[in-house]
A and B are shown apart, each in its own frame.
Chain A
Amino acid sequence: MLLPDYYEFCCRVKIVAGHDALEKIPELLTERGAKRPLIITDKGVASAGLIDIVSAALKDRLFADLIADNVPPDSDLRVVNQLAKLYQENDCDAIIAVGGGSVMDTAKGVNIVVSENAADLMAFSGVGALKRPLKPLIAVPTTAGTGSEVTQVAVIKDHEKHLKMAFGSYFLLPDISVLDSRMTMTMPPLITAMTGMDALSHAVEAYYCLQKNPLSDAHSLAAVRMIYHYLPIVAENPSDRNARLSMAVGACLAGIAFSNSMVGLVHNLGHATGSVCGVPHGICMAIMLPYGLEYNMHKREEAIAGLLLPMTGEAVYRETPPAQRADKVVSLIRQLNADLNTITGGRHARFFQEVKDREGKPLVPREVLPEIARAALSDGASIYNPEDTDYEDNLMVLEAAWEGIPLDRNKIKRG
C-alpha cells in the first residue's frame, strides 16, 4: 500500500443529507445568526421548479426579492460584482447557492467580495490570499457531480479581459452543504449520466493521484462504491429517490476525496477538450476516465486493482486473479459507459468521435486533437498525475479516446 510520509486533509463542511434536508435550513441559518439570505441560482434550476421547493422550505427566511437567478453557465466576474451589490444593498447576512458548478463558483466569488469588501476580486486570486472566514455560505447542489459543495476552490472568468481567475482557500469551503434528493430528481438521464461520470472520475482520480493519502482514500472508496452501483439505477429510474440521495452523497464523498488528493490526466485532458471544443465537462470525464487509468497503470496498478472491491463486491473480487483486477476495473468502467449509452438511447458519448452538438455536428473533429494536446500543457491538473505527460503523450491518449480504442500500453513512455 502507498503510505505517504506526510499529508494534509481538511474538510470542515457540515453535511445535511435527506429527502427533506432543505427544511433544516432555517434552523441552520439561526445557528449562524443569519436572517436575510441571498439565494443565488440560475435560470435552468429556477425553471425546473427547484427554487420553489427551496423557497417553501425557507419559510419566514425567504425574501422574494433576494432570489437572483441570472448566473450564466460559465461563471462571470460582472455577475459576481452585480450580485455582491445586491447582497450589500439589502443587508444580507448569508448566501444560499442552489445549482451546479458555475452557481457554486459564483456564490464563492460573491462571498469574497462581500466579506472582504473587495473592490477588485482579482486581488484575492491565487492560493492562500484569503486570511479570515467569510460570510455563511450554504451550498445546495442540483447535480450529483461537481462536488463543489465541499471544495475549497472557485474559478471566475473575466469575459471582458479574457481572464480566468482561480481562488483556493479553506475559507472558500461552504459552511453547510444540504443534499436533498428532490434537488436532483428532475435531472434528465443524459445529464444524470454525464454528471455522475464526473463524480466517478473525482473518486477514481483521487485514488491514484500523487496527493492520495489514507484519509482521501477512505472517501474515494466509499464514493466509488455508491456511484458505480447507483449511477445506472438513477439513469434508468430518474425518480428513485433513495438512489438519487445515494448519488448525491456519493458525489459529495468524491468531492471531499479529490479536493484533498487532487485530480490528474483525466481532468487535465478533459479541461483542455472543454476549453477548445466546448464539450461539457462530464462528457469529457466519461470518455477520458478509462484512459487515465490505462496511462497510469504501470505506476498505480495496485491502487487501481483495489477499486475492484468497492465496484463489484467481495465475491467477484476474490474470483478475479490479482494480476487481472486492475484491467477488470478499466473494462468495467468502459462497460458502464456502454450501459449509459444504451440507457440514454445512444446519446451518452463513449468516445470523442461520438460527441455531437444539438444539430448533430461533430463537436470534436479529429484535426483539433493537436490543439487540445497543446492546451493541456497549460492546465495545472498535470502536476498531480502520477506519470509525466508531454505533448506527444497527450496526443496519443486523445487519439485513442477519439477512436474509442484501448491505449496501447507498450507505447506509453516510461522513465
Chain B
Amino acid sequence: MSIVKDIPSAKKPFKRAYVGIFLWFTGRAIQAAAKVDKEVKKEFDNLPDDFTFSLGCLPNGPSMVIGKRNGAVKYLGGNPGQHKVHVRLAIKSVDAAFLILSFQESTALATTRNRLITDGEVPYALAVIRILDIVEVYLLPKIIAGLAVKRYPKQWSAGRKLGGRIGIYTRTILGI
C-alpha cells in the first residue's frame, strides 16, 4: 500500500469554496448582464429558445448552469445533471479552475493548455465565450480583466462601463 495518498478534490476546501462561490456569483452576474448589457442580450437573442450551458470543474463540480427560459436568461443553480446542456465548459480539475478563476490564466490560454474542455456546437460555444468575456470585464477591475480576456475593450464608453457595472453588481447581489 502506498504511504502517500492521493488527495481527492473534495479535500481542497479552500479552492473548492473559492471556485464554488465564484461560479455562483458569475452565474447570477450573467443573468444580470443579459438585462443590462445590449451586447450580452444580443448574444442570447441569437441563441435557441431553450439554450442552456454549464461551466464547471471535473470530475464532480462545483458547476453553474445558465439557461434561457421563456425568453429570460436565468441562473439555474449548480447542478448540470438536471438539464440538457447545449454547451458544456469543463475545467479539468479544481486546481486548474482555481488558476483560471483567480485570473492567473486566461480562458484562451487554458484552452491551449488543454485544461478547459469545450463540448457542444462550435458557434454556440463561441457565443458563450464572448458572453463570459464581457461579464468578466464588468465584474473585474481593468488590471485583472486584462489578464482574463485577450483584449480589454478600451473603446467602451465610460457610461457603458460604469452604468453596466452598477446595474450588474446590484442585480447580481439582489439576484434579479
Interface residues of A (CB under 8 A from B): 4-8, 126-128, 166, 210-211, 262, 377-380, 382-384, 386-388, 413-415
Task: Decide if B122 touches A415 in the complex (CB within 8 Å).
Answer: no
Interface residues of B (CB under 8 A from A): 108-109, 111-114, 117, 119, 122-123, 125-126, 129, 146, 149-155
Contact residue among B112, B117, B146 (Cβ-Cβ distance under 8 Å from A415):
B146
From known contacts A210-B108, A387-B151, A413-B155, infer whether A4 and B122 are also in contact, taking CB-CB under 8 Å. no
**Count of A-B residue pairs with CB < 8 Å:** 54
Task: Decide if B126 touches A378 in the complex (CB within 8 Å).
Answer: yes
Task: Decide if B122 touches A380 in the complex (CB within 8 Å).
Answer: yes
Task: Decide if B151 touches A127 in the complex (CB within 8 Å).
Answer: no
Give CA–CA (A7, B152) in the complex, Å. 25
Contacts of A4 in B (CB 8 A): 112-113
Contacts of B149 in A (CB 8 A): 388, 415
A367 → B minimal CB distance (Å): 22
Task: Decide if A413 touches B126 in the complex (CB within 8 Å).
Answer: no
Give B106's nearest chain A residue, CB to CB: A210
B48 → A minimal CB distance (Å): 14
Contacts of B108 in A (CB 8 A): 210, 383-384
The 6 closest A-B pairs by CB, nearest first: A378-B123, A415-B151, A388-B151, A388-B150, A415-B152, A211-B112
Task: Decide if B154 touches A382 in the complex (CB within 8 Å).
Answer: no
Give CA–CA (A415, B153) in the complex, Å. 6
Q: What are 28 A-B residue pairs whose CB atoms fall within 8 Å in the complex? A: A5-B113, A7-B112, A7-B113, A8-B114, A127-B119, A128-B117, A166-B122, A210-B112, A262-B112, A378-B123, A379-B126, A380-B125, A383-B108, A383-B111, A383-B129, A384-B111, A384-B112, A387-B151, A388-B149, A413-B151, A413-B154, A413-B155, A414-B151, A414-B154, A415-B146, A415-B149, A415-B150, A415-B154
A100 → B minimal CB distance (Å): 23
Candidate in A166, A262, A378 with the most chain B CB atoms within 10 angstroms: A378
From known contacts A8-B114, A413-B155, infer whether A387 and B150 are also in contact, taking CB-CB under 8 Å. yes
Give CA–CA (A85, B59) in the complex, Å. 38
Contacts of A415 in B (CB 8 A): 146, 149-154
Give CA–CA (A380, B111) in the complex, Å. 12
Give CA–CA (A414, B149) in the complex, Å. 12
Contacts of B125 in A (CB 8 A): 380
Contacts of B123 in A (CB 8 A): 377-378
A244 → B minimal CB distance (Å): 34
Give CA–CA (A385, B56) in the complex, Å. 25
From known contacts A7-B113, A127-B117, infer whether A379 and B122 are also in contact, taking CB-CB under 8 Å. yes
Give CA–CA (A166, B121) in the complex, Å. 9
Give CA–CA (A373, B125) in the complex, Å. 18
Task: Decide if A377 touches B146 in the complex (CB within 8 Å).
Answer: no
Task: Decide if B114 touches A210 in the complex (CB within 8 Å).
Answer: no
B119 → A minimal CB distance (Å): 6
Give CA–CA (A210, B114) in the complex, Å. 12
B140 → A minimal CB distance (Å): 14
Task: Decide if B126 touches A377 in the complex (CB within 8 Å).
Answer: yes
B72 → A minimal CB distance (Å): 24
Give CA–CA (A158, B129) in the complex, Å. 26
Contacts of A211 in B (CB 8 A): 112
